[in-house]
Amino acid sequence: MSVTPQDLLKGLEKPPLWKTLGVFDVLWALLVLAGAVFSWLRYGASMDDYEAAILLASGLALIALGWAWKPLRVLTLMVAALSLFAIWRYGDSLKLADSDFFLRFLVSGQSAVMWMSALFIAATAAYFIALFMRSEFIGRVAAAMTWSAVAMGLTGLMVRWRESYLMGSDIGHIPVSNLYEVFILFSLLTALIYLYYEGRYRTRALGGFVLLVISAAVTFLLWYAWSRGADRIQPLVPALQSYWMKIHVPANFIGYGAFALAAMVGVAWLVRDRAVRRHPHGFIASRLPEAGELDDLMYKAVALGFAFFTVATILGALWAAEAWGGYWSWDPKETWALIVWLNYAAWLHMRLTRGWRGAPMAWWAVIGLFVTLFAFLGVNMFLSGLHSYGEL
């Protein structure tokens, strides 16, 4: 039987999205929409038009992400259940955080973040043990701990949001306003991006490498909380009292998380390359993914980070125009954001137009993380400017 070109084209055609949706997909969409409607009915009177638009866009984005990445549904339901449980335990009294067993040891904002920190550090060790022992079981445990860490961290942020309003309606704000909160956000987004790629590439060999940078962030987070009392909720400075913060900061840290993933994949590429040159069939070479696969993952992570960082930079300029009267002022934070953007723009340019691969791009991705780290943290530590409210 002959096959015509038309038959081949039909085989390549993708069915419409609505034909691929099942019962659980529809239920997921209805559940998210119900949550958005409830939020609007409960808090709509306190929202302006921009915040209502953010709520709608967030709901639609969550539906689409749940359709595209099924594990996200389970994570969302876990976070919702834990957060609502904590809010129920609190009632209208923040003082219960010290006397209620569940709040004190499990689901208060700070308790959940501590669980997140412990789980990330344990998962880092478990991923490396799984890599060296070639243990599928320990690998699954490491992945489960990483998912659990993300669930606890997101719960911590959600409950912290509620805690800020229990302190006073004029104090309440989304928890992405200072270094302590955004370090939590960075850890969670980096882990989520990694978990997506882990499922997509069906390998846990990179888990230890990626979680090293998350564990470093968690270590800083713990030091910052214990030595500086950074976990205490503070009122927002006037410049941050804006709906722009709700979209600029998350977009920025998706970019940071993707750049961190690219750098750690670059480290894995360099480790594997050295191992292959010394012992082609040795211990390390046989356990890490092929160089081409690592190179492809590094490129996709940089491309994702660059896209979100570009959006975040544009949003930051619009926010600056509203807060300070100008889109760009060559503030140190803005200048270093431009340096980060140019760095990864050049990385992508050399990859796409010159075909650069391998060691140069791996080293570049690693160095790029240090450039990004200085823009993220170093500017706050050593330089001052319009963004001085974020100083260490």
pLDDT above 80: residue 121: yes
Mean pLDDT, rounded, of the chain: 90
* pLDDT value for 284: 80
pLDDT in tens, 208-226: 999 999 999 999 999 999 9
* pLDDT value for 387: 56
* pLDDT value for 119: 98
What pTM was estimated for this model as a whole?
A: 0.91
* pLDDT value for 230: 87
Mean pLDDT for 285-293 is 88
Highest mean pLDDT among 69-83, 158-172, 277-291: 69-83
pLDDT above 50: residue 1: no
Amino acid at 326: G
Higher pLDDT, 323 or 95: 95
Query: Predicted confidence band at 124 (pLDDT cuts at 50, 70, 90)?
Result: very high
pLDDT in tens, 240-259: 888 888 899 999 999 999 99
Mean pLDDT for 340-347 is 97
Mean pLDDT for 26-39 is 94
Query: Predicted confidence band at 127 (pLDDT cuts at 50, 70, 90)?
Result: very high
* pLDDT value for 381: 72
* pLDDT value for 379: 79
Q: What percent of the chain has pLDDT over 70?
A: 92
CA distance 392 to 390: 7
pLDDT above 90: residue 236: no
pLDDT above 80: residue 9: no
Query: Predicted confidence band at 6 (pLDDT cuts at 50, 70, 90)?
Result: low
Mean pLDDT for 50-62 is 91
